[in-house]
Amino acid sequence: MAELTAAPEKQGKKVRTKKQALRVDLTAMVDLAFLLITFFMLTTTLNKPKIMNVTMPVGPTGEGVPESRTMTICLGKNNQAMYYLGLAENPIIAATVTGYGKSGLRRAIMDTRKKVFQSTGKSMIVVIKPGDTSVYENLVNTLDEMKITDIDQYAIADIAPKDISLLKDKQAY
């Protein structure tokens, strides 16, 4: 690490002490610096945030959504979701409250998707409407269910007063 170089002794009467030259070896410091730089670069590349891509529409469009292919999922309180097929006033599948997970929302999406494909021959469209009493985690879980069940066409919309009254009737708002 540190190196001391001593001058050779002279033969003579008077012995004089010479100043010794001090030299510090910085090799270990440079190695440590490169090790730290490598470590922090590696940890920042491995620690990328997980992002879910959601494409939102630019503005209102003139086209309506076919009610025979549209499943509406309203997110309520206490980790409950209500779903129905068609319009809220005259649903093809009546409004039903379910939980999240394999036997709840996922099963409802898969069964409804099968029914829609058998009747129309086209894929199902899902409209997700988070209520004021729902939590953000429920929205993320619902979007995860869209990915798991391979639903390509879905949208996030504002909840309508009719949907709020249906949620209140089912004690989920």
Return mean pLDDT, the chain: 84
**pTM of whole model > 0.75?**
no
pLDDT tens per residue, range 50-109: 776 766 656 666 566 678 889 999 999 988 999 999 988 888 889 999 998 788 999 999
Task: Tell me: pLDDT of 3 over 80.
Answer: no
Least confident of 16-20, 36-40, 91-95, 126-130: 16-20
Burial 52-62 (b: 16+ CB within 10 A, else e): eeeeeeeeeee
58-67, long-range: CB within 8 Å, 24+ apart, which pairs?
65/125, 65/127, 66/120, 66/125, 67/92
User: 98 by DSSP, 3-state: which?
Assistant: strand
Are 92 and 116 in contact by the 8 Å Cβ rule? The answer is: no
Specify the higher pLDDT residue, 114 or 11.
114
Predicted local confidence at residue 161, as pLDDT: 92
Task: Tell me: pLDDT of 2 over 70.
Answer: no
Hey, where are the domains in the chain?
Answer: 67-169
CATH fold of 67-169, please? Nucleotidyltransferase; domain 5 (3.30.420)
What is the pLDDT averaged over residues 109-114?
93
